[in-house]
Amino acid sequence: MTAPKLELRSAYKRFGTNTIVHGLNLSVAVGETLCLIGESGCGKSVSMKLAAALLPPTSGEVLWDGERVDDLSAAEFRRRRMKFGYLFQGAALFDSMTVFENVAFGPRQLHAADGPALAALVAARIREVGLPEHVMHRKPAGLSGGQRKRVGLARALALDPDVMLYDEPTTGLDPVMSDVINELILRVAASRDDDPRPDRPPVTSIVVTHDMHTVRRVADRVVMLRPAPNLAPHESQVLFDGRVEDLFVSDDPAVGPFVRGEAGEKLRELAA
Ligand SMILES: Nc1ncnc2c1ncn2[C@@H]1O[C@H](COP(=O)(O)OP(=O)(O)OP(=O)(O)O)[C@@H](O)[C@H]1O
């Protein structure tokens, strides 16, 4: 059996005295799209960053393709890390550069790409995310939120990632633009499905989101976390781990009302 693409084993993350991630076991299969959901501040982004080795766990293990990240040589770690693409909040574009320069930045740095080949690559990625080519000459500050997100995605795709990480990709977008982003997440996830080359495995994705339309549209699997504080040592931080169909009909009082947006218990807590 193929090892999971990304895996956390008994991972803890503490910032000072605050425990944010509590003994988390989480694996994402090759080619899977996992949505991470849960109430604000419960540690979704931190968990995703642990899995991507953007943050070190306080204790526990992080594995990529079944190998402990700590056991990889620095060169091998860098090689694999280059195959991760990120679309984080605000799209984190360089505002002083044009869209072209933003998308070209990674290939220039990593493969010393230049000239017509680089221009063709950037144009192709811009087209893939549904932006007109003239946007390439503009600065990100002059673009709408949805356009900025798509430039961020084009920039991530320019490095041909094996793993895509999305942190609240539709936050702040109108429903139609949100659906455009959902469609692009699906397209990226399926982009290598018919590619038989062994060096181009199916794209694996993690999507941290509060947007239940996104969950319904893109998730192969959903993991719902709860906040780590107040958990007993043996208690799991995972409230739900399963298929989307089962999530929305869950009769667990901590899961069903949350995903259906029902305020009942929360209102009682606020009134207490
Ligand atoms: N580098 C850091 N240093 C200190 N605390 C941090 C750091 N990163 C995250 N935290 C804290 O960890 C907690 C969980 O953060 P995280 O961003 O993972 O939550 P989340 O579930 O993604 O929340 P939201 O849905 O609101 O984005 C927050 O209280 C946050 O302040």
Q: Going residue by residue through the chain (272 aa), what tens digit of pLDDT does each one get?
A: 689 999 999 999 999 999 999 999 999 999 999 999 999 999 999 999 999 999 999 999 999 999 999 999 999 999 898 899 998 876 678 888 999 999 998 888 877 667 888 889 899 989 888 888 888 899 988 888 888 888 998 998 888 899 999 999 998 888 888 898 899 899 888 887 888 777 788 999 999 999 999 999 999 999 999 999 888 888 999 999 999 999 998 889 889 888 888 766 665 666 66
Q: Give residue 207's pLDDT.
A: 97
Do residues 190 and 229 share a domain? yes
Helix and strand element counts for the chain (H, E): 10, 10
In a domain, 259, yes or no: no
118 Cα to the center of ligand 1, angstroms: 37
Do residues 141 and 29 share a domain? no
Do residues 190 and 146 share a domain? no
Nearest ligand 1 atom, CA 47: 18
End-of-domain residue from the set 121, 139, 160: 160
Question: Could you give the CA distance from residue 12 to residue 20 in angstroms, rounded to a whole number?
Answer: 7
Question: Could you give the CA distance from residue 78 to residue 160 in angstroms, rounded to a whole number?
Answer: 15
Do residues 189 and 240 share a domain? yes
In a domain, 266, yes or no: no
Which class for 148: exposed (0-12), middle (13-18), buried (19 or more C-beta within 10 A)? buried
Q: Give residue 142's pLDDT.
A: 85
Ligand 1 pocket by Cβ (under 6 Å): 15, 20, 38, 40-46, 208
End-of-domain residue from the set 108, 130, 160: 160
Q: Which ipTM was obtained for this model?
A: 0.96
Q: Give residue 265's pLDDT.
A: 64
Which class for 149: exposed (0-12), middle (13-18), buried (19 or more C-beta within 10 A)? buried
Query: Which of 126, 205, 223 minimizes the C-alpha distance to 166?
Result: 205
Q: Give residue 146's pLDDT.
A: 85
In a domain, 251, yes or no: no
In a domain, 69, yes or no: yes
Do residues 76 and 172 share a domain? yes
In this structure, the residue with its CA closest to atom 6 of ligand 1 is: 15
Question: Could you give the CA distance from residue 123 to residue 35 in angstroms, rounded to a whole number?
Answer: 30
Question: Could you give the CA distance from residue 207 to residue 155 in angstroms, rounded to a whole number?
Answer: 17
For the chain, the domain total comes to 2
Domain around 238: 1-83+164-245
61 Cα to the center of ligand 1, angstroms: 20
201 Cα to the center of ligand 1, angstroms: 31
Do residues 179 and 201 share a domain? yes
β-pair partners for 224: 37, 240
Tell me the pTM: 0.91
Q: Give residue 44's pLDDT.
A: 96
